[in-house]
Chain A
Amino acid sequence: MGFEGIGASVKRKEDGRFLAGRGNYVDDMRQTGQLHAVIKRSDRPHAKILSIDTAAAAAAPGVVAVYTGADMAAEGIGGLPCGWQIHNKDGSPMAEPPHPVLAVGKVRHVGDSVAVVIAETRQQAKDAAELLVIDYEDLPAIASVRDAVAPGAARVHDEVADNQCYDWHIGDKAIVDAAFARAKHVVKLDLLNNRLIPNAMEPRAAIGDCDVAGNYTLYTTSQNPHVIRLLMGAFVLHIPEHQLRVVAPDVGGGFGSKIYHYAEEAIVTWAAGKLRRPVRWTAERSESFITDAHGRDHDSTAEMALDEAGNFLALRVRSLCNMGAYLSTFGPAVPTYLYATLLAGVYKTPAIYAEVRAVFTNTVPVDAYRGAGRPEATYLLERLVDTIAHDTGLDRVELRRRNFIPADAFPYQTPVALQYDSGDYVATLESALKAADWAGFPARRRAAAARGKLRGIGMSTYVEACGIAPSHVVGSLGARAGLYEVAEIRVHPTGSVSVFTGTHSHGQGHETTFAQLIAAQLGVPMSQVDVVHGDTAKIPFGMGTYGSRSLPVGGSAIVKAVDKIIAKGKKIAAHLMEASVDDIEFKDGKFTVIGTDRSKALAEISLAAYVPHNYPIDELEPGLDETAFYDPKNFTFPGGCHICEIEIDADTGVPHVVNFVAVDDVGRVINPMIVEGQVQGGVAQGIGQALIENAVYDSAGQLVTGSFMDYNMPRADNVPNIHVGTETTLCTHNPLGVKGCGEVGAIGSPPAVINAVVDALSDYGVRHIDMPASPQKIWSIIQAGRPALAAE
């Protein structure tokens, strides 16, 4: 075995089973006596349910039960809870209308759950669902944020005036207004952050089970099984936690969309309890499109006040953000604390004021999708900076440098609450400029022009916030959850190790990275380390994986637990070697009496701990098994520079990304291979957002892009090779110095791509282009610009 310490690109432990087709995803599980649930979806964006006739469906072959919202309401089943409460400018709480598991009285988006049919086979359930007769009375639908705030707009929820969930702000308006009043230049930009559909390749699935004693198990495609157990058990189904086990086995990608507590989890669990048989449900992809939480969907205006020299004086932002028809678990937090708090970006802008209005629409609920709020902030800022360069004639690289928070200014307090602990934005910029050969671009542009291509280059310099914390701070901001993480380390009698982590891997490779970490710290080979996650019956209460928190928060919990193991091991070693604890050091898997050759291997210590014949039993409990909870002191702040080079076919308007460079500072890197993979995957999603992906509703509220034929997913020939580099400054407040790498790709890339597109079209008088920069939009710009160009 090669070097497997921290910093080595160790091959992944989990790959063996995935490559052999032996993964264990929810839909791969089989239960004896299982039943199949098919959920009847609303095909109406907004309608009253006048009646549901279930008779024919209930009588169809194989059908065991049909339930509607009325059946659940009759049993006192609660609605789906929201995990974050935002307050309005005036201090009042946001509007939080009920979110029934199965619709009661009304449907509010295409895809809303109306009834469930449960049968012996999936086909029988599907056939029977077709026999449900639902009488609707259509209501006017709100399809977009602009519709929602139009005067006289229909209400998505009768009790919510103006469709407004909240009207929130951050920053000091008076200071900002004063800065604008004395500014030399003001640059203003209106921009949309397009709505996206996460589309993890594994569709969501859930299996509910209930034994004779009333103990429930839910197998679900979740990023955070404990959170699901808490939300569903306590707020929806009222099942005490000791009687509810939630298992999230292998999960085929999440990107945020599998954080939330979804209706189907409650439906199958509840039905399993009623029928005392396992009940399973798996989304068909067309169902995923209309039920998985969507992402982004902001409509914003940004204004920067500048002095003569191009120094940023103040930033003013207004955003109108879509919550969808109901509040998804963390929806309200995304356009507020995960977005507006990042509006300083990498710049020392002294004053910032942002107003965010979130509204309900008759669309699928919107929540966090890879990056969650931070891509929206980054896109807004980095487009604004390029627009400032465009309007003032300042060089875009120079403009950024001039306004960067300098490397010696950390810790740096921004005007929007966050305090960045570390970073070096010049270092990532320089490294990216070099890797992308920025200086050589003009020659490449000329060469492309000779081939009839329009070539452009664009960059973004960004910072983001990961490992959202500390718990008491997020609590004061409205989070209804703690945001610590837990790890239990069990050294077995013969010295192999199991680690139980509250984080969850759905592609990130924790079984490898965490094993690598523990192997390095305890001095055991990786093959002797087993990483266990995703089962509330095995693991202490953990918070799961999102916001790139697994290593900064979960890894820190592991380090804390390792420290406890070593501390206890030293006491045992001291006893065995008749030395003082202070004279014992632990290194490379051995406890040694300092300055002697007397030592005990970890396995000898663990054996003594479990067979405590010769053991300090009066002072020390037997066993070598330690649990640690880690609550971070601050967020972590990864940052970096992304550069995109693009060629546009002048005749067709088709853009082609020809080079992409991402240089990120993610803190200490444990496994560079995995970090590169995370960045590349994120960048592909960012290129997707910038160029091709778009969730489109028509004005009546129907999702037009409801399949892979209509929703454009990045395919292998839409993305280039992605060059990944790192420049490291360490996080100063967690024990590993790590910052998180899961989202940087999706955060840094979209503005780099659009900046490149705008640059490529610079001769055509274009100042801004909204995402996705489709061939049609680009072609129209080229066509419109041609006469002007010819006239010159």
Chain B
Amino acid sequence: MPQVSLTVNGKAHKVEVEGRTLLVELLREKLGLTGTHVGCDTSQCGACVVHVDGNSTKSCSMLAIQAEGCSITTIEGLAKADGTLHPMQEMFREHHALQCGFCTPGMVMSAIDLVKMHPQGLSEAEIREGLEGNLCRCTGYHNIVKAIAAAWPLMHGHAMPAAAE
């Protein structure tokens, strides 16, 4: 069986996988990181989004062996060691941006990347477009959009430029 070496949430792992094993299967089945969810089999829902070398990636659409040498961050790796939540996690709680919680890990991982990729600011329409790849059946998105807008200044350390709002 092929082996893959990768870093997950700061920890190095060497794991035996089948050639067809998906990254999400490696995370859930081999490493027990069940915070990353599987909501579909057509790469449409975004429940499985993780960061691969800092970029949000649907972990169901990538083979485990493709992650050789990569650094992966999952929802479990976001909070600080002392339990302090990432500002995006905080804002999701603050704005009631989750109900059943199933889409939440993927939603949070996507949202963080979205905010990072938009240092110039994010309008509501841009946030909604940026969430195209993530389905939520519970919230109607209203509060997710609010949470992301609220996380932007916390992540960038200053208020959102007025023009973007």
Report which A residues bind B (CB closer than 8 A).
11-12, 14-23, 25, 27-28, 30, 123, 199-203, 250-253, 255, 284-286, 506-509, 673-674, 676-678, 680-685, 707-709, 713-717, 719, 721-722, 745
Q: A20-B89, A21-B76, A716-B141 are in contact. Are A14 and B135 (CB under 8 A)?
A: no
A715 to B141, CA, bound (A): 8
Query: How many chain B residues touch the partner (CB < 8 A)?
Result: 56
Does B159 sit at the interface, judged by CB under 8 A? no
User: Which chain B residues numbered 82 to 130 have a C-beta less than 8 Å away from chain A?
Assistant: 85, 89, 92-94, 96, 98-105, 108, 124-125, 127-129
> Is B74 touching A506 in the complex (CB atoms < 8 A)?
no
Contact A509 B99, beta carbon cutoff 8 Å? yes
Cβ of B2 within 8 Å of any chain A Cβ, yes or no, is no
Q: For B35, give its contact among A20, A199, A251, A683 (CB under 8 Å).
A: A20
What is the CA–CA distance of A160 and B129 in the complex, to the nearest angstrom?
Answer: 50
Question: Do B128 and A717 touch across chains, with their CB atoms under 8 A apart?
Answer: yes
Min Cβ gap A237→B in Å is: 29
Q: How far does the alpha carbon of A508 sit from the alpha carbon of B139 in the complex, in Å?
A: 10
On chain A, the residues within 8 Å of B31 by CB distance are: none
| Interface flag for B10 (CB, 8 Å) | no
Q: Cβ of A722: which chain B residues have Cβ within 8 Å of it?
A: 140, 142
Q: Which residues in A have their C-beta under 8 angstroms from that of B138?
A: 201, 253, 507, 677, 681
Q: A716 contacts B32, CB within 8 Å?
A: no
Whole-angstrom distance between the alpha carbons of A48 and B124 in the complex?
54
Chain A residue with minimal CB distance to B109? A21
Docked-complex contact B140 and A684, CB < 8 angstroms:
yes
Point out the residues of chain A lying under 8 angstroms from B75, CB to CB: 19-21
- Closest residue on chain A to residue B142 by CB atoms: A680
Shortest A481–chain B CB gap in Å is: 25
Interface assignment of B44: CB less than 8 Å from any CB of chain A:
yes
A252 pairs with B132, CB closer than 8 A: no
In Å, the complex CA distance between A61 and B33 comes to 27
Give Cα A523 to B123, complex, Å.
44
In the complex, what residues of B have CB within 8 A of residue A201's CB?
A: 37, 39, 45, 47, 100, 102-103, 135-138
Q: When chains A and B are docked, how far (Å) is the Cα of A21 from the Cα of B40?
A: 18
Chain B interfacial positions (CB closer than 8 Å to A):
18, 20, 28, 32-42, 44-45, 47, 74-76, 78-79, 85, 89, 92-94, 96, 98-105, 108, 124-125, 127-129, 131-132, 134-145
Q: Is the beta-carbon distance between A285 and B42 smaller than 8 angstroms?
A: yes
From A11, A250, A677, A683, name the one whose CB has the most chain B CB atoms within 10 angstroms. A677
Q: List 28 A-B contacts (CB under 8 A).
A: A11-B96, A14-B101, A18-B104, A19-B75, A19-B108, A20-B76, A20-B85, A28-B28, A200-B137, A201-B37, A203-B38, A250-B101, A253-B138, A286-B42, A507-B100, A509-B99, A674-B96, A677-B99, A677-B138, A680-B142, A684-B139, A707-B44, A715-B134, A716-B128, A716-B141, A717-B125, A717-B129, A719-B142
B141 touches A23 (CB 8 A): no
Residues in A with CB closer than 8 Å to B140 are 680-685, 714, 719, 722, 745
Q: Are A15 and B18 in contact (CB under 8 A)?
A: no
Complex alpha-carbon distance, A716 and B40, angstroms: 18
Nearest CB in chain B to that of A678: its residue: B99
A contact residues around B93 at 8 Å (CB): 11-12, 15-16, 19
Question: Which of chain B's residues has its CB closest to A285's CB?
Answer: B40
> Are A30 and B104 in contact, with the CB atoms below 8 A?
no
Q: Give 6 closest A-B pairs by Cβ, nearest first.
A: A21-B35, A252-B102, A18-B101, A507-B100, A684-B140, A21-B75
CB contacts (< 8 Å) of A508 on chain B: these are 99
Closest-CB distance, A358 to chain B (whole angstroms):
27
Q: Point out the residues of chain A lying under 8 angstroms from B105, CB to CB.
A: 21
Q: A721 to B32, alpha carbons, bound, how many Å?
A: 37
Contact pick for A202, options B33, B34, B100, CB 8 Å: B100
Measured between beta carbons, the chain B residues less than 8 angstroms from A12 are 93, 96
Distance in angstroms between the alpha carbons of A284 and B79 in the assembled complex: 30
Chain A residue, CB-CB nearest to B102: A252
Which of B40, B44, B94, B100 is A253 in contact with, Cβ under 8 Å?
B100
Q: Which residue of A lies closest to B90 (CB)?
A: A19
Residues in B with CB closer than 8 Å to A21 are 33-36, 74-76, 105
A251 vs B102: C-alpha distance when bound (angstroms): 8
Contacts of B100 in A (CB 8 A): 200-202, 250-253, 506-507
Closest approach, in angstroms, between the C-beta of B23 and any C-beta of chain A? Answer: 15
Report the Cα distance A16→B104, complex, angstroms.
Answer: 12
Contacts A21-B36, A21-B76, A123-B18 hold; do A15 and B132 have CB atoms under 8 A apart? no
